[in-house]
Structure 1
Amino acid sequence: MTTPKASPALVADVPAVIEETTRLLAAHYVFPEVAHRLAALLRGRLKEGAYDTADPAELGARVTADLQSENGDQHLRLKFHPERLQEDADQVDLAALRSEFGASLGGVPRVELLQGGVALLELAPLFFRLAWAAEPLSAALTLVAPAGTLVLDLRNMVGGDPDTVAFVCSYLLDERTHLNTQYWRAGDRYEQSWSLPHVPGARFGGAKPVYVLTSGRTFSAGEELAYDLQQLGRAVVVGETTRGGAHPRDGWAVHPHLEASIPVGRAINPVSGTNWEGVGVRPDVPCPADTALDRALHLATRESAPRG
């Protein structure tokens, strides 16, 4: 007999949730001016009765819609969690994450050699923290290194660790390369991300063709990998425009089941001088996501055909 899960706690004090959310916005959001406007908006909506509900999921949805109304920042949310949060919401449930890591073979659910010497490498659903992911990623990237062409499938990649993104890029480049710069509001500082000078195993290298598959689901760190490679001219992006989330975030519990997810930095690409926030990564070869693999294979076949 299974024990039914307890229902999420009702929101007993909506004003306290809104006030704490606005305080965190003002203290941490990467765009302080936007934070102050959003704080005023939330307080005004509270007075109007827009948040009159005891259902934490409904409150989270209403507040999230208002938070994203200013600039469409998809990392800026009042996120509902069915399970009770830890006191520090940014401390991810490691048991659940470990389970997801194992179920996806460390974020590498598919490695396949296709016709014509094309290797297909699917990375999903997350770029897990590098301490976990380095071994399976290194094994997979070393396995595909002899292939003539590589197709990276990011259609179901929805986020993860920027250090792991840099690790993957390192296998696809010949020289140490500046990939990205993060601006952090805390300390008003900049932090550069570079590919690694050395990697475990064999590199695919920087000369052979790479195609990156994207979808409307591809998000956050998945978008960073596609964008970094595209801006460097290292890969052809095939598929759909991605969701458009370029701001790294932290999380704070403002209720046992509600997390204030607040971007605390922004990406600055060294080639474009900007990022994919709000606009997504735009494919070089647009097509529906479910046809992207076939389209990439067609392009790869055409590229490898003898010139006459």
Structure 2
Amino acid sequence: MTTSTKLSTAPVIDETARLVSEQYVFPEIAEQVADLLRRRLAEGAYDVDGAEELAGLVTADLQSVNGDRHLRLKHHAEPVSPEQGAATMEAMRRDFDTSLGGAPLVRLHDGGIAVLELAPMLFPLDWAAEPLAAALTLTSRAQALIVDLRANRGGDPDTVAFVCSYLLDRRTHLNSMHWRKGDRREQSWSLPHVPGARFGGSKPLYVLTSDSTFSAAEELAYDLQQLGRAVVVGERTRGGAHPCKGWTVHPHLEVTVPMGRAVNPVSGTNWEGTGVQPDVLCPAADALDQAHALAAARLAE
């Protein structure tokens, strides 16, 4: 006979509420969310046996006030590190090693149209600079370029700037981050020089998106779209524009809290909640064919 042990939810909720209250980029929303969690705890809404079930309930409440997709309680099947932000590093490294550094496909189509897939994420730049420089340099001789972000779940904003640097002719202001801590402002610019050759800022460029494209991958699409540099083809993206950090609040639970918000210098806003709206809306499965047809027509003009 086995005896189940009920999950002690109060410490998890108390710590989650504290972190949201102290760290979330929008202080007024933070207090509303923290109060909601404490109220739901008192009502018995979190009286569940399993960590995975608790994660789903709490995440729904965390996102119920303003729909922030980065504000969540994540369940991990394996115990997570108590160190801040360390829960996914080993898995990320495995993904990096098995995806050719985040550029798993470079292909030349008829008519000099190249396709570059960036997936499953935009890895930290100190890892990804070498493989991305190689892939982007390889595509620099193409007549048109399609960047496929349909399976990209996000990553490093510095890597976004690095990729953009190959797709523009000059140093360009891409994005600004507004941080809660210290009320700081940071600007992101493309690089004045890159290793290898640029595709440049004048040849036709298309970016493919899906409803799974998220976070930093959305920034890459959004930055290029707002600059008028790329045509975005596919589905509306998930809508996560707030960079976050993670804290372990239980051996199998990690709370992620956005600590800043993106502000695009062209639009004055970002893609949070709304997602990146494609210029050419179509099912993700059809996006490559659509973009290829658009590129071929453009080159034929």
Q: What's the TM-score bracket when you normalise by the shorter of the two chains?
A: over 0.9
User: In structure 2, how many angstroms separate the alpha carbons of the residues matched to 1:40 and 1:75?
Assistant: 19
Displacement after TM superposition at 1:54 (Å): 2.3
Q: Which amino acid aligns with 1:284?
A: D
Aligned: 1:121 with 2:121: no
Aligned: 1:266 with 2:249: no
1:177-188 matches, within 5 Å, as 177-188=172-183
Counterpart for residue 31 of structure 1: 26
- DSSP-derived class of the 1:74 partner: coil
Deviations 1:179-221 (A, max 9, x none): 0000111111000000000000000000101000000000001
Displacement after TM superposition at 1:12 (Å): 3.9
Aligned: 1:291 with 2:286: yes
1:119-158 matches, within 5 Å, as 119-158=114-153
The worse-fitting range, judged by mean Cα deviation, of 54-63 and 95-104 is 95-104
Counterpart contact for 2:7–2:48, Cα < 8 Å? no
Displacement after TM superposition at 1:89 (Å): 4.1
Counterpart contact for 2:7–2:51, Cα < 8 Å? no
- DSSP-derived class of the 1:146 partner: coil
| Residue number among 151, 154, 164 corresponding to 2:159 in the alignment | 164
Segments of structure 1 that go 5 or more residues without pairing to the other structure are 1-8
What RMSD, in angstroms, separates the aligned Cα atoms of the two structures? 1.2
Counterpart contact for 1:178–1:192, Cα < 8 Å? yes
Q: Which amino acid aligns with 2:228?
A: G
- DSSP-derived class of the 2:181 partner: coil
TM-score (norm 1): 0.95
User: In structure 2, how many angstroms separate the alpha carbons of the residues matched to 1:63 and 1:107?
Assistant: 32
The worse-fitting range, judged by mean Cα deviation, of 133-142 and 296-305 is 296-305
User: In structure 2, how many angstroms separate the alpha carbons of the residues matched to 1:105 and 1:178?
Assistant: 29
User: In structure 2, how many angstroms separate the alpha carbons of the residues matched to 1:180 and 1:82?
Assistant: 35
| Residue number among 218, 223, 238 corresponding to 2:218 in the alignment | 223
Aligned: 1:61 with 2:56: yes
- DSSP-derived class of the 2:182 partner: coil
Displacement after TM superposition at 1:10 (Å): 6.4
User: In structure 1, how many angstroms separate the alpha carbons of the residues matched to 2:260 and 2:252?
Assistant: 25
Q: Which amino acid aligns with 1:248?
A: P
User: What is the percentage of aligned positions where both structures have the same residue?
Assistant: 65
- DSSP-derived class of the 2:126 partner: helix
Displacement after TM superposition at 1:13 (Å): 2.2
Displacement after TM superposition at 1:93 (Å): 4.3
User: In structure 1, how many angstroms separate the alpha carbons of the residues matched to 2:19 and 2:5?
Assistant: 22
- DSSP-derived class of the 1:187 partner: helix
Aligned residue-pair number = 298
User: In structure 2, how many angstroms separate the alpha carbons of the residues matched to 1:264 and 1:245?
Assistant: 13
User: In structure 2, how many angstroms separate the alpha carbons of the residues matched to 1:79 and 1:96?
Assistant: 15
Counterpart for residue 282 of structure 1: 277
User: In structure 1, how many angstroms separate the alpha carbons of the residues matched to 2:190 and 2:32?
Assistant: 38
- DSSP-derived class of the 1:260 partner: strand
Deviations 1:68-96 (A, max 9, x none): 00111000001111111111240244332
Q: Which runs of 4+ in 1 moved over 4 A?
A: none
Q: Structure 1's 71 and 126: CA in aligned 2 closer, same or farther, altered over 3 A?
A: same
- DSSP-derived class of the 1:140 partner: helix
1:74-113 matches, within 5 Å, as 74-113=69-108
Q: Which amino acid aligns with 1:109?
A: P
Counterpart contact for 1:89–1:259, Cα < 8 Å? no
User: In structure 1, how many angstroms separate the alpha carbons of the residues matched to 2:89 and 2:45?
Assistant: 35
Deviations 1:133-162 (A, max 9, x none): 000000000000010000000000101000
